[in-house]
Amino acid sequence: MFKVKYFEVIRTAAVILIALAIAFIIISLVSDQPLKTIGIFLWEPISTKGHIGNVIEMAIPLMFTGLAVSLLFRANMFNLGAEGIFYFSGVVASVLAIHLSLNSWFHPVVAIAAGSIVGALLSAIPGILKAKWNANELVTSLMFNNILFGVGLYLLNYHLRDAKAFANVSYKFQETAQLSKIFTGTRIHTGLIIVLVMIVLAHLFLYRTKWGYELRMTGVNRDFARYSGMKTAKVIILVHLIAGFIAGMGGSVEVLGMYNRFQWASLPGYGLDGALVAMLAKNNPLSVIGSALFLAYIRIGADMMARLSDVPSEMISIIQAVIILLISAEQFLKFWKNRMLLKEAKANA
């Protein structure tokens, strides 16, 4: 017997199944060998150690941004600024990775810390605007994405660009700055450990500390939080600082873990993907792990499919769009929830 409290879990599972089903239908229509293509899509990402490595590498930045966005959503802040911060903190970490000379312990620590702190400070701006003047955080954070991208690109073009390279990329990072790989045969780097630690810390913060409690109550009902004596403006600024810190750390870790030069000439998109990860995870830090891995899995699957079959990888956008649409559509499966509610209400009456 299903209960109302499991409704959200069931709904998310149903959404994913429907999205996959639609993907299969499209593949069947487009592909000459649909079964083989579907096989590639589902199986290839987990077929070899290298491919599993690819999935996990891709999940690392998604976990960072997914975690940052989850905390913001949890405070009822619809802020999509993780995108710009992720990018800009990558630039900051790159500057330090190029110009500092430290040993291989301190170098990445300093670079990542700098990227994180810059991320926190940048994120605080929309936070303060929201808390003090009630400026819509969605608007300010999206505008910030553009600003940060513009400034970051300027730094890349005029200060970091390696003229000897044939593309628009920065000078090489010092070897000491790069994160070490932790599994041979894959590119999985120590960033995985960092992000898992952050997720556990965020979980403890959110559910086990008084500050996390304030954050959750402010998110559920700000009037209630204020009435209870909480300083909700401070809570809003705090959650922006933390989310910016995590997003900035994500950008720094990604740059130092996966590349030897800074090479994003456009926004990498991880910030907005973070919103999708957060939605799938229902804004729960621990669930971010699973939802980031799932998203990385279907993306790598689509990649493999594009390489090994006749279906292009853009197909994955359709799956993502369906997932976002159905998850955010509150009415989806609502009739079923209402039926369950009615039954429970009758049982209690």
Partner 1 sequence: MEHALLEMRGITKVYPNGVVANHDVHFSLREGEIHAIAGENGAGKSTLMKIMFGMEEPSEGDISIRGEKVKLQSPQDAIDRGIGMVHQHFMLVPSFTVAENMVLGMEPRKGVGFNYNEAVRLTEETARKYNLAVNPKAKVEDLTVGMKQKVEILKALVRGAKILILDEPTAVLTPQETEELFVELQHLKEQGHTIVFISHKLKEVKAICDRITIMRGGRSEGVFQTKDVTEQEISRLMVGRDVVLKYDKDNVPFGKPVLSVDKLSVHDSQGKALLEEVSFAVREGQIVGIAGVEGNGQNQLVEALTGGLHAVSSSGSVKVNATDILAADILRIRSLGVSYIPEDRMRQGAAGDASISDNLISTRYRSKDMNKGPLLNGKRIAALAASLVEEFKVRCSGPQQPIGMLSGGNMQKVVVARECSTSPQLLIAEQPTRGVDIGAAQFIHQKLLELRSAGSGIVLLSADLNEILELSDSLLVMYEGEIVAYFENPSKVSEEELGLYMLGINRQDKQQIGRAVNHV
Contact 180, 190 (CB under 8 A): yes
Among 224, 307, 312, 321, binds partner 1 (CB under 8 A): 224
Smallest gap, in angstroms, from Cβ of residue 307 to partner 1?
45
Stretch 303-342 residues interacting with partner 1 (CB under 8 A) = 334, 337-338, 341-342
Among 4, 13, 147, 182, binds partner 1 (CB under 8 A): 4
Distance, CA of 221 to CA of 217 (rounded, Å)? 6
Of the candidates 40, 66, 92, 30, the one whose C-alpha atom is nearest the C-alpha of residue 264 is 92
Residue 196 half-sphere exposure toward CB, CA atoms < 13 A: 9
* Ordered DSSP codes for 13-45: HHHHHHHHHHHHHHHHHH-SSHHHHHHHHHHGG
Of 146 and 228, CB closest to partner 1: 228
- Give the angle 154-139-59 at the CA atoms, nearest 5°: 70
Residue 151 parent element (H or E): helix 137-155
Q: Does 344 bind partner 1 (CB under 8 A)?
A: yes
Of 4 and 329, CB closest to partner 1: 4
Smallest gap, in angstroms, from Cβ of residue 338 to partner 1?
6
Q: Does 164 bind partner 1 (CB under 8 A)?
A: no
Among 230, 243, 302, 322, binds partner 1 (CB under 8 A): 230
Among 198, 217, 315, 323, binds partner 1 (CB under 8 A): 217
Distance, CA of 85 to CA of 157 (rounded, Å)? 18
Of 99 and 339, CB closest to partner 1: 339
Using CA atoms of 278, 282, 286, 289 in order, give the dihedral in degrees to the nearest 10: -50
Site string for partner 1, 190-209 (x = CB under 8 A): --------------x---xx
Of the candidates 180, 320, 148, 325, the one whose C-alpha atom is nearest the C-alpha of residue 247 is 148
Q: Which region, judged by CB under 8 A, interacts with partner 1, from 194-202, 213-221, 238-246, 299-307?
A: 213-221
Q: Does 71 bind partner 1 (CB under 8 A)?
A: no
Binding site for partner 1 (CB under 8 A): 4, 204, 208-210, 213-214, 216-217, 220-221, 223-231, 334, 337-338, 341-342, 344-345, 349
